[in-house]
Chain A
């Protein structure tokens, strides 16, 4: 028995529902998968995703969950298995990180184009080389355009909650898209956080069994995954693009329904002390919590600083983002990945696109920070805001730099 279980004290079946318990976030994620009554789980071990799969295998081995669980020979096969099982109508789950995601990237595009509502957790980790097991967002940015709905979790509760949200959303007949839940490797996956667990009866109401529209069964034969010749390929891509944009109101609906059940309401862009702020930090993922500490520290000094946290990465919430940020004078956008030889970080690139069409908009200053597990402390956020404000004051309207490079 690993130390992880000792920390949350009780095994899955006996967990106290409806109360906050200290629990490793990966274990909470696994518990959520169990509560979703997932039918097929297929995975391959990669740090820092491993604890989720280890805990799920324990749950299945102890008979606490009736699922087909198997360890395959690669991440490419892990996701391929999920495509096969999901196509039969079985609720399917996998999770990965970094190189594993890179290896399965081919299949991510196919899963979404075939409209198979798989849910995957990515414990975000840097892409090699040099090899690093630690956290940044370069892994998921490599499949940015794969056509999945993509969330970024800020804390353990987010991760746990979004497993239910993801399945309910993905399986809606008018959505039918796979969903990625990004959680920062180690900084979320391996920390113990207070998690409020939800009673199973509530989950069963929130998430009824999956009713597939089409599935692989001899009684109603279908062909899935045919070849598209030039006269029809564009149309299939357009249909996919329409589907992912049409999911936006469904995402909001699902969050609303979840909020009504738990009292925890989520938004595409969360703000913190942003109403009147001249400078807004923009973050994605777990560093939002650290940034909010930095905002408090700067507010105490009387500075007009706030925070906008992007929770929904795809479809990108352009309207919500503009609403949250247009009043600010400047945005300090923190990226956890680099678009090599491109416009800086992928988040800043999106932010600039979102603002470009507006007659007046804040100036964007972009920092890439926290690569490969480098800590970003509240002091670092303050330094970045200091630097950006000076640069913008001096007329730099396209600022981009990698923060904290040791020279």
Chain B
């Protein structure tokens, strides 16, 4: 299944749309783009368990649906548990000969709130049990669906409706939770980060996750113009800047071994990324410097891991 798509590039992707147009996502929503690419990567033989969130709301107003693949939404915090049930159900029905034997990939999908906060327990349980499924976290760094409230995945300094920049507090005062590291700590065979600004990289990683026997976790940074207070036409650029500034490095953890998908000997100044987003507008030069220091330190740590191959 996995081919080196870099050779063929975008034309290798199927023209078929499994996440149909006409959904109600905002202009410039990179999460919708990410989901569209995930579906293209996997084709039609999948079943999706979706958490409550933007992608659920925009795609499924009864009696309409944007899903051309089987799709199931139960609640906010349990996408991983529901996917566990789907995977087990399909497995046992095939084993008992009640449905034909063929490869069907089970996907759980959730945002950063549904993954790093309320869904973390169910996710940890499903990873520990090593169900054969892919967990896709589309991370737009806050509870965008309910109106841009902070999550544990909101970056330091970002202003949200519940971590506002005020006279004495400067937005989010905690550092972004490292979800890929938490997933990797479960010793699952495959963990990756991706961003739809790098579509081929994203598609390859999702295909690799599908080929992995056991649980796979793919964490996708998804630019949200509404929540980030950025121009919709800049979503792709912002995704690239997140990667090039070291804010969101692209890497894989295969059987515990780290591998950087793209390495930048010199990172772009973080200011270039921040200045395009209203959520960082209030930050002072000192604060930006402090954040940049920490981002660079984390990037170096990641590089070290990749160098050592651990």
What residues make up the interface of A, taking CB atoms closer than 8 Å to B?
A: 39-40, 42, 66-68, 70, 72-74, 76-77, 80-90, 92, 106-107, 110, 114, 209, 216-218, 221-229, 232, 236
A226 to B74, CA, bound (A): 9
Are the CB atoms of B45 and A218 closer together than 8 Å?
yes
Residues of B within 8 A of A90 (CB): 88-90, 92-93
Chain B interface helix/strand/loop/mixed: mixed
Are the CB atoms of A68 and B92 closer together than 8 Å?
yes
Contacts A70-B129, A81-B84, A88-B47 given; does A221 touch B62 at CB 8 Å = no
Are the CB atoms of A80 and B81 closer together than 8 Å?
yes
Are the CB atoms of A226 and B73 closer together than 8 Å?
yes
5 further A-B pairs in the complex, CB-CB below 8 A; given A40-B88, A70-B129, A107-B78: A40-B92, A68-B91, A74-B121, A218-B45, A232-B62
Are the CB atoms of B69 and A107 closer together than 8 Å?
no
Q: Nearest chain-A residue to B79 (Cβ)?
A: A80
A227 to B55, CA, bound (A): 11
User: Could you mark each residue 87-128 of chain B with 1 if its beta carbon is under 8 Å from any beta carbon of chain A, else 0?
Assistant: 111111101101100001000000000000000011011001
Contacts A74-B121, A225-B60 given; does A216 touch B78 at CB 8 Å = no
Contacts A88-B90, A217-B47, A225-B73 given; does A73 touch B122 at CB 8 Å = yes
Are the CB atoms of B82 and A80 closer together than 8 Å?
yes
Are the CB atoms of A72 and B81 closer together than 8 Å?
yes
Q: How large is the interface on B (under 10, 10 to 19, 20 to 34, 35 or more residues)?
A: 35 or more
What residues make up the interface of B, taking CB atoms closer than 8 Å to A?
A: 44-47, 49-50, 56-57, 60-65, 67-75, 77-78, 80-93, 95-96, 98-99, 104, 121-122, 124-125, 128-129
Residues of A within 8 A of B68 (CB): 221
Are the CB atoms of A227 and B70 closer together than 8 Å?
no
Contacts A87-B72, A218-B45 given; does A66 touch B62 at CB 8 Å = no
Residues of B within 8 A of A232 (CB): 62-63
A and B contact pairs by CB, cutoff 8 A, 14 listed: A40-B92, A66-B95, A72-B81, A72-B84, A81-B84, A85-B85, A90-B92, A216-B70, A216-B89, A224-B71, A225-B50, A227-B57, A227-B61, A229-B62
Are the CB atoms of B70 and A221 closer together than 8 Å?
yes
Name the distance in Å between A369's Cβ and chain B's nearest Cβ: 36
Contact of B86 among A85, A107, A229 (CB under 8 A): A85
Name the distance in Å between B25's Cβ and chain A's nearest Cβ: 13
Are the CB atoms of B72 and A84 closer together than 8 Å?
yes
Are the CB atoms of B56 and A227 closer together than 8 Å?
yes
Are the CB atoms of A80 and B89 closer together than 8 Å?
no
Contact of A83 among B62, B65, B80, B82 (CB under 8 A): B82
Chain A interface helix/strand/loop/mixed: mixed
Name the distance in Å between B86's Cβ and chain A's nearest Cβ: 4
Are the CB atoms of A218 and B47 closer together than 8 Å?
yes
Contact of B125 among A67, A68, A77, A86 (CB under 8 A): A77
Contact of A225 among B74, B80, B91, B95 (CB under 8 A): B74
Q: Nearest chain-B residue to A37 (Cβ)?
A: B96
Contact of A222 among B62, B70, B87 (CB under 8 A): B70
Name the distance in Å between A89's Cβ and chain B's nearest Cβ: 6
Contacts A72-B84, A76-B77, A88-B90 given; does A236 touch B62 at CB 8 Å = yes
A82 to B95, CA, bound (A): 18
Name the distance in Å between A6's Cβ and chain B's nearest Cβ: 31
A236 to B61, CA, bound (A): 13
Name the distance in Å between A335's Cβ and chain B's nearest Cβ: 31
Q: Nearest chain-A residue to B87 (Cβ)?
A: A84
Residues of A within 8 A of B91 (CB): 68
Contacts A39-B89, A216-B47, A217-B104 given; does A80 touch B73 at CB 8 Å = no
A218 to B90, CA, bound (A): 11
Are the CB atoms of A89 and B93 closer together than 8 Å?
yes
- Most B CB within 10 A of own CB, among A39, A40, A223: A223
Are the CB atoms of A107 and B74 closer together than 8 Å?
yes
Are the CB atoms of A223 and B88 closer together than 8 Å?
no
Contact of B75 among A67, A81, A86, A106 (CB under 8 A): A106
Residues of A within 8 A of B63 (CB): 226, 232
A190 to B2, CA, bound (A): 54
Residues of A within 8 A of B98 (CB): 89, 209
- Most B CB within 10 A of own CB, among A70, A80, A106, A236: A80
Residues of B within 8 A of A209 (CB): 98
Are the CB atoms of A39 and B92 closer together than 8 Å?
yes
Are the CB atoms of A229 and B84 closer together than 8 Å?
no
Are the CB atoms of A80 and B75 closer together than 8 Å?
yes
